Amino acid sequence: MNTIKRLYSRALPLVLIIGLTLLWPVLGLAQSYALGDIPLDPETYARYERSFPDQAADSLPSSYDARNYGLVTPAKNQGNCGSCWAFAATGAFESHLLKQYGGSASDLSEQQQVSCNTGQSGCCGGSATSIKFWETQGPIYESCGPYKESSTSCPTKSTEPCSNMNSCSQLSARVTGFYTVTPTVDQMKTSLYNDGPSYWRYDVYNDFYTFWNSASAGTVYKNSGSTFSGGHAVLLIGWDDAKQAFLCKNSWGSNGGPQKDGTFWIAYSGHTKNLNIGMANFKLTGGGTHPSLSSLYDASVYQAYANFYNKLSLLYGSSTYRYYAYIYQMYAYQYLYSAYSKAPSGSSSRNYAYYAYYYGYYAYVYAYYSYVYGSTAYAQSMAYYAYQSRIYAAYAQYYAALNM
């Protein structure tokens, strides 16, 4: 609790955040570099706080970039609206979909958060608890709820009524297990690595704008003092111990910042001012179609055909039936491999799909031998391995249906 209180001793009430938002143009700061994160009060942060075992960080790599694993969607631009909190939350959901379920990247709607999340304040600010909005309802696609607040400034919270998105289809995935992260380097690394890129907040001082606009690629931001501007939320996507820095995705344009791709490096420590760094993360449940589910279904169909023709070959000794058993088992083997390769790493469905593919391969080999040599022994071996493959494929399909 003392740690949290020290880190958030500079937390400002919403009214001051709003005042600073109104002063940004007066201070000469580019309005497209809007802020808007309202830090959680110490009691709320502590209520949701989760700590990982200290040894969990021991096995982490010295550097990590979630983009290398296809877990990060492109940076966007919030414009003048103080909706960084909505972009951080939405970007986190997009990343979690990729990490937990694989498949193609989704472009989700930030406008849904700005217009419909009444627990936050739209263009006048929001917090990490915005993520909890998706515990009881799902996000919608950008195409149905496009962002319309680029030119909106506080005190206007939003210009788009939530009712305009009533007809939008919601994704089936829901947030579960929302938690705040003990704000240490190792704890934030572990959360990112285990649960995915997520909401990360810090206090912005004027020297950060200079860094954002003029620093060269690879430069690490380290606060040197200057004037406090407000709170900001971004997406934590990586780290590098050699740089002693975190890698973040911003919401100030897809071509902005030192790397010209909307990302920036920020030092673990050594800042002149206390940046009041904080993080929140979560898991998803009930998400749409598992990426390997369709392949497992196709494999089960071909396995059934292969089993049928193999039994006929044993009964009638027909080379035609042996041929069909071989062909259908070959297709089954190919779809089992596809299911294994598509399933998210570490998932139960992937583990079972591997054994289904392993046994399916040997069933395919013995089906081929049975066809070529006309041997009953090979046909019986094919039946044994195909049976084992079907068992593991059934388990894989069960866990894929549960998105596990």
Distance in angstroms between the alpha carbons of the first and the last residue of the chain: 35
Catalytic residue among 80, 117, 223, 250: 250
CA nearest neighbour of 295 among 361, 388, 357, 386? 357
In order, the DSSP letters of 202-238 are EEEETHHHHHHHHPPTTPEE------EEEEEEEEEEE
Q: How many residues are listed for the chain in this entry? A: 404
335-to-294, 301, 302, 343 alpha-carbon distances in Å: 9, 10, 9, 12
Active site residue 250: yes
Q: How do the residues of the chain divide into helix, strand and coil, expressed in percent and rounded to 5?
A: 50, 15, 40
In order, the DSSP letters of 311-350 are HHHHHH--HHHHHHHHHHHHHHHHHHHHHHHHSPTT-HHH
Q: What is the CATH number of domain 293-401?
A: 1.20.120
CB-facing half-sphere around the CA of 342: CA atoms within 13 A: 21
Catalytic residue among 84, 116, 123, 124: 84
Active site residue 84: yes
Could you please state the CATH topology (level 3) that the domain comprising 2-285 is classified under. Cathepsin B; Chain A (3.90.70)
Strand partners, 234: 200
Active site residue 117: no
Indicate the angle between helix axes 348-373 and 376-401, nearest 10 degrees: 160
How do the domains of the chain map onto residue ranges?
Answer: 2-285, 293-401
Check if the beta carbon of residue 192 is closer than 8 Å to that of residue 248: no
All residues at 6 or more sequence positions from 212 whose CB lies less than 8 Å from its CB, including other chains: 33, 250, 252, 256, 257, 258, 264
Written as tens digits, the pLDDT of the chain (404 aa) is 444 444 444 444 444 444 444 443 333 344 468 999 999 999 999 999 999 998 889 999 999 999 999 999 999 999 999 999 999 999 999 999 999 888 778 899 999 999 999 999 999 999 999 999 999 999 999 999 999 999 999 999 999 999 999 998 888 889 999 999 999 999 999 999 999 999 999 999 999 999 999 999 999 999 999 999 999 999 999 999 999 999 999 999 999 999 999 999 999 999 999 999 999 999 998 765 566 778 898 999 999 999 999 999 999 999 999 999 999 999 999 999 998 887 766 667 888 999 999 999 999 999 999 999 998 999 999 999 999 999 999 998 887 776 56
Catalytic residue among 80, 117, 123, 232: 232
